Amino acid sequence: MRTYSVAEADRHFADMLDHVRHGETVLVENGKPLARFSPAEAPRLDDAGTRHERLQKIRQLFDNVTFDEMMSARDEGRE
């Protein structure tokens, strides 16, 4: 974990971001932790694949339902 004072972060922001990319960085003010920075997680491709599979299963549930039936179900109970 790397720490930067507010003044250091101001002068060396690009360097600080490089450290953040490789692990956690803490910004300190008057010797006390002010903020904690960590790399953002990259979106996982397997999540997109899983979502696609779930959408396919949902679509299969409605294969035999007509558009009018869907609209009727949606409007049921509305005034």
Q: Tens digits of per-residue pLDDT, 9-58?
A: 999 999 998 888 888 889 999 999 999 998 887 666 667 678 888 889 98
pTM to 2 decimals?
0.46
Q: Give the pLDDT confidence score for residue 23 in this predicted structure.
A: 86
DSSP label of 79? -
pLDDT of residue 2: 87
The mean per-residue pLDDT over the stretch 60-72 comes to 89
Q: Which domains does the chain have, with CATH numbers?
A: 2-37 (3.40.1620.10), 45-75 (no CATH)
Please report, for residues 43, 46, 54, 55, the alpha-carbon distance to residue 51 in angstroms, rounded to integers and kept in the order given: 13, 9, 5, 6
Q: How many helices (H) and strands (E) does the chain have?
A: 4, 3
Per DSSP, the three-state class of 3 is: strand
Residues in the chain: 79
pLDDT higher than 80, residue 63: yes
- Indicate the DSSP class of residue 8: H
